[in-house]
Amino acid sequence: MKEIIYLDTMLLHSYVSQYNDGLPNTSSLEQTQEINDTTEIEEGYNSRSSITAMFNTGKFEIPMIFSTPEGKVEGVFQPGNFNKEKAVMSQTEMGKEIISKQLHDNALVNFEKYLEDNELFCDLSNPDIEGNFIKMYSEFQIIDFAYLSKIIQPDKLLKFSFSSEEEEITKFENELKKEKDSKQKSLKKAKIQQIKNQLTQEKNRLKNQFEFINESLVYLNEILPTESFVKMHNVIAPLKYDFLREKSSELMFKYGNNNKTKATLIGKVTNIIKTVDMPNLEKDPFFEFPKVLTGVLYPLGVINVNDLIVSPVAIYFE
């Protein structure tokens, strides 16, 4: 049983519907009933008897795609209560099946089976992997740049990061006030000042890092096609928000970035990262500017040379 956390139903619709000439896999049954009453005058005798005739319409079915239910046609002949009058009621009941092309999770199973049966999954070590489907089972990391930009607030992070050190310095300063020996007091005061200087240097170093990361995240949120990605070994896959079963921020909180939980990813390799260098603007800017993206992602530890860019179809636990 699969626990699906991501499923690109639009992409799956496209692939499977092309293979099956459409993907009707949910249906609703609508019953319609038509009653016609007619009265005919003719010579006859009063009678309480009746004759009923019933006919069945056939059932039409295309295996694994759709089927129509059997219909029923019923005719009733009953002489009226009065002489010279005949009442005829015809009742037609038919099943009308409405096919809606709504995708279910079982379509993923069929799609995956089709790729496996036709040996369409490409090995990750294949040099001609671009444009092919892959299936991999690996530990994963969820990256949500919008969520990370909320986390990376330099001043607040520094306050929390060095709270214990600040408490220790305050404790030393309080002890210093109680020191009676002037020589010891002078030595301790110098030591505390040295610790403070080291702490200030470390704060400045980290603040510069946090500010760089924060500026990078803000920039990436503006230029990236999506906010969320999944990183699995040497694969980086952009996630479309509409196809996530849970928010990416929830997945980050639940599974973290150092978890040993493994998931299965099915997707199509669209590109291989050849370089992570910033663009050379002396060359043609039209072709060089797209390299900015990899040039910014690389220092953040998101990508590396030879990583695969994959368009994901599904990510699930099993």
Q: Which pLDDT score, from 0 to 100, does residue 189 have?
A: 87
299-310 per-position pLDDT tens digit: 777 888 899 999
**CA 95 to CA 30: how far, in whole Å?**
6
Q: Which pLDDT score, from 0 to 100, does residue 192 have?
A: 87
Query: In angstroms, what CA-CA distances link 221 with 107, 271, 280?
Result: 33, 21, 23
- Average pLDDT, stretch 28-46? 47
76-126 per-position pLDDT tens digit: 444 444 444 444 444 444 444 444 444 567 788 888 988 999 999 999 989
Q: Which pLDDT score, from 0 to 100, does residue 20 have?
A: 67
Q: Which pLDDT score, from 0 to 100, does residue 10 have?
A: 84
Is the per-residue pLDDT at 68 higher than 90? no
- Average pLDDT, stretch 126-138? 94
- Average pLDDT, stretch 132-152? 88
Tokens linked to 138: 């690996």
* Choice between 130 and 147, residue whose per-residue pLDDT is larger: 130
Least confident of 11-15, 109-113, 195-199, 246-250: 11-15
Average pLDDT over the chain, rounded to an integer: 74
Percent of the chain scoring above 90 in pLDDT: 20
- Average pLDDT, stretch 160-184? 86
- Average pLDDT, stretch 132-147? 90
- Average pLDDT, stretch 238-267? 85
**CA 234 to CA 44: how far, in whole Å?**
90
196-228 per-position pLDDT tens digit: 899 899 989 988 988 888 888 888 778 777 888
- Average pLDDT, stretch 118-141? 93
Q: What is the SS3 assignment for 159?
A: helix
Least confident of 32-36, 275-279, 303-307: 32-36
Least confident of 2-16, 76-90, 252-266: 76-90
Render the chain in DSSP notation, one character per residue: --EEEEE-HHHHHHHHHHHHTS---EEEEEEEEEEEEEEEE---------EEEEEEPPP-EETTTEEPPPPEEEEEEEE-SSTTEEEEEEEEEEEEEEEE----THHHHHHHHHHHHTT-BPPTT-TT-TTSEEEEEEE-EEEEHHHHHHH--HHHHHHHHTHHHHHHHHHHHHHHHH---HHHHHHHHHHHHHHHHHHHHHHHHHHHHHHHHHHHHHHHHHHSS-SEEEEETTEEEEE-GGGBSS-HHHHHHHH-SS---EEEEEEEEEEE----SPP-TTS-HHHHTTHHHHHHHTTTTS--TTPEEEEEEEEEE-
Under CATH, which architecture does the 106-144+226-317 domain have?
Beta Barrel (2.40)
Tokens linked to 222: 């503006």
Tokens 């900015």 label which residue? Answer: 292
- Average pLDDT, stretch 30-42? 48
Q: Which pLDDT score, from 0 to 100, does residue 249 have?
A: 83
Sequence-distant (≥ 6) Cβ neighbours of residue 197 within 8 angstroms: none
Is the per-residue pLDDT at 54 higher than 60? no
Is the per-residue pLDDT at 269 higher than 50? yes
Q: Which pLDDT score, from 0 to 100, does residue 21 have?
A: 66
- Average pLDDT, stretch 62-87? 43
- Locate the domains of the chain by residue range: 29-100, 106-144+226-317, 148-222
* Choice between 61 and 130, residue whose per-residue pLDDT is larger: 130
